[in-house]
Amino acid sequence: MNSVRHRQQAQQQDADLLLRIGKQIHFSENEGKALVNQFKYLTKDNKVARQDKLDRSQFREVLQSTFKMTDDIIMDRLMRAFDTDADSCVNLSEWILGLSVFLRGTLEETIVFCFNVYDLNGDGFISKEEMFHLLKNSLVKQPTEEDPDEGIRELVDISIKKMDGDRDGRLSLQDFASAVREDSLLLEAFGQCLPAPEIKDRFLATLSTKL
């Protein structure tokens, strides 16, 4: 009897959550319910202390296996982007709100999202050092290159010239947004932090499939 009551209470809490965040997300009611079910499935074997949360390793596993992400730095930054309460875990609300931008965000939402991923130290700017670090980690080095870092430094310089609107040697959110609005390909200039279209479509198709 207690288990039935507990299950009913949990279902009501999930319904209340979807109602509360419904206007903030780009999912239908049925898609929201499917995301709840997927989250419950991903966390079903968790111990009580983390019963309703994805920890870092679980979240990275989702990024790798489902969204084919491979860059360690980007995956850690995505974890921070989803984990808005900074408790080193992703709860159900953060999961749905994060996926809303990750999968169906507007241009303005994804601009802010990607900028925050690239702003490694969270100071509100993407510095040359951060660009270098991101590009060095994501680009494949050619074995014939004597100094592979030189090519990355050149890319950083090109990026600054193209995107740094106020010419202060770093990118503010305004710089980044203006550049992306002119050329949408610059949205992921410093590494992949959104899923490829075919992978995104494949995941969205699962929202119509019950677990």
Q: What is the pLDDT of residues 66-113, one digit of tens each?
A: 999 999 999 999 999 999 999 999 999 999 999 999 999 999 999 999
Residue 172 above 80 pLDDT? yes
Classify domain 2-105 at the CATH superfamily level: EF-hand (1.10.238.10)
The pLDDT of residue 45: 86
Residue 1 above 60 pLDDT? no
Closest to 84 in 3D by CA, of 62, 123, 53, 58: 53
Q: Determine what percent of the chain is predicted with pLDDT higher than 70.
A: 91
3-state secondary structure of 196: coil
Classify domain 107-188 at the CATH superfamily level: EF-hand (1.10.238.10)
The first and second tokens of residue 22, run together, are 């419904």
What is the Cα 16 distance to its own chain's centre? 25
- Do 2-105 and 107-188 agree at the fold level? yes
At 104-146, the pLDDT tens digits run 999 999 999 999 999 999 999 999 999 999 998 877 665 555 6
Domain segments of the chain: what residues? 2-105, 107-188
The pTM score is 0.89
